Structure 1
Amino acid sequence: MCQKLKELKCSFKALNRQRFSHISDRAQQAVAALKQVQLDLHDNPRNLELRSKVDKLTKESRFLSEAERQFYVQITKSTYLMNCDKGTELFHAIAKRNAKRRFIATVHKADGSLTTSQSQVEDEFMGYFKGLLGRDSLFDDIDPMVLDSCPKVSVQQAQNLIKMVSRQEIKVALDGIGEDKAPGLDGYTSCFFKKARHIIGNDFCEAVEEFFRLSSLLKQVNHSAIALIPKSSHVSTVQDYRLISCCNVTYK
């Protein structure tokens, strides 16, 4: 499935160039064409061909206008865009502000001093979060008497814990992932898998079932992008950031 998804990206890129390149110009052209046909229909209201053109151009202009809006929303990632002109100073100010937000120039070290380079910033974050995630260490063996004194699951419950997942359970898990969630490194959101369920559903389920059968994940699936999200508008230490992992939908 991973190989198929990788090959599919070439087709998506070609489709994007064909249908959505120069989206602003195409949206304006569609609106202008619709207005012209509406004027022609106003002069000749009984013309069935013009009526058909109006319906067609109305759908096309709405589709392109919505595609244009989504394009700019993705760039700015701001709700302010819903109420502003995409060519105003506000739009460019928001885009510049978001670019600055993604850059961490300096942080305070554990001793209170400031970092002086990007490598030191990286070292501070790596050291702090590695400490949170834990480290390798030796543990004492578990005392069997302690286990015997604890409540135990029944044989049926134990069998349910290790049985193969059903395709209905996979479907429920997929439907529970929000369509507006950030995609993983493969670029595919849960919306893609839901909309294309009739095409890719069998491959998707087989990939999930293979993990439970072999207890192994491909490297293409078992990796994620980690984003650092500031907890407030004034951040100065690594503790002021929280981690968010953008995992592939198959991994989820």
Structure 2
Amino acid sequence: MCYKVPEFQSLVLTGWNIAATGTAMFRVVKKLKLLKSDLKELNRGLFSDIERNADVAYNLLVDCQLSLQQDKTNKDLMDKERYLRQSYYLMAAAKEDFLRHKANSEWAKDGDTNSAMFHQVIRQRHVHNKVLQIEDKNGILCKEPDEVLQAFVDYYEELMGTNGHTTLVLEHIIRQGPLVHDTDWDGLCRIPTEQEIRGILFSIPEDKSPGPDGYTSGFFKASWDIIKGDICEAVQNFFVNENKLLRVFTRQIASIRVHEANKTKYDRGRVFW
């Protein structure tokens, strides 16, 4: 919420100029960690009890506008109305963001301050993320919750939890199917440009839930001109130093085959129903 106030840019600029040593990713994590307490304090000072403050800002604006109607040439009232209008717009936007993030939280279903729309979105998410039925390894369709759960457990136990003999996979058999060429692998492992990193980051909606560090994409968008150098270096450094691991990972992803004909099976990390 504090991303839209003038104090935000100067606060980030001061915090980001703190000297940090180590790898590029370590420097980014350290700066974000040190900056978090200052951002919390700014957010607490400006937006604590945001719902009540938004209502107060609205009432002050209405009172000022009524007074201005009685004295339309009063310059002081004009300036005051302009200031109160900007303040109300800021508070109203912060209130909307607060309710949106609250609706994304698991405990929102127990709150009574959200609108019916937010509760409907929460119910839709629960339905969308629920696996109602799935075929087990024997091709039997499981519909009961316990049976669905056991189908997943059996699949992973057979995949990773046994010590049985592994049949050698013959390369000539693999090559009979669709393949990902070396040029495609090189493209997946290519070091991204600043424009590509920015494009991916800015494609993330600001109302998505924050990451483990508590930062949403809104922070990175609002402070991009300040932090882009360190962020891009950290991302590009991963592609340089972890290139070997990344190639193995991309080969594993590329080997996933989707069963288009029967979309009720669990196959290599994908659920279809």
Identify the residue that residue 135 of structure 1 maps to in structure 2.
160
Alignment of 1:103-142 (within 5 A): 124=150, 127=153, 130=156, 134-135=159-160, 139-140=168-169, 142=171
**In the comparison of the two structures, how many residue pairs are matched?**
200
Alignment of 1:1-252 (within 5 A): 1-77=28-104, 94=119, 124=150, 127=153, 130=156, 134-135=159-160, 139-140=168-169, 142=171, 164-215=191-242
Q: Give the unaligned 5+ runs of structure 2.
A: 1-27, 106-111, 137-141, 244-265
Partner of 1:224: none
Question: What are the superposed Cα offsets for residues 107-140 of structure 1, whole Å, 9 maximum, x if unpaired?
Answer: 99x898876xxxxx9x8597267469x5385744
Asked if the contact 2:54/2:95 (under 8 Å) is kept, the reply is: yes
Counterpart of 1:232? none
How far apart are 1:64 and its partner, in Å? 1.1
| Structure 1 residues 131 and 15, CA gap change in structure 2 (3 angstroms) | farther
Q: RMSD between aligned alpha carbons?
A: 4.9
Could you report, residue by residue, the CA deviation over 1:137-161 in whole angstroms, capped at 9, with x for unpaired residues? 5744646xx69xx99768xx88767
Structure number with the bigger relative contact order (C-alpha 8 A, sep ≥ 6) is: 2
The aligned counterpart of 1:81 is: none
| TM superposition shift of 1:21 | 0.6
- Given residue 75 of structure 2, which amino acid in structure 1 is its aligned partner? L
Structure 1: runs of 5+ lacking an equivalent: 79-85, 116-120, 217-238, 244-252
Q: TM-score, normalised by structure 2?
A: 0.53
Measure, in 1, the Cα distance between the counterparts of 2:213 and 2:151. Answer: 25
Deviation of 1:9 after TM superposition, in Å, equals 1.9
Contact 2:60 2:84 (8 Å CA) reproduced: yes
**Deviations 1:80-108, CA, capped at 9 Å, x for gaps:** xxxxxx759x75x949x86xx59xxxx99
Larger relative helix fraction = 2
Query: Closer, same or farther in 2 for the Cα pair 1:142/1:23, shift >3 Å?
Result: same
Question: Normalising to structure 1: TM-score of the pair?
Answer: 0.57
Once residues 71 and 155 of structure 2 are traced to their aligned partners in structure 1, the CA distance between those partners, rounded to angstroms, is 71
Identity percentage over the alignment? 29
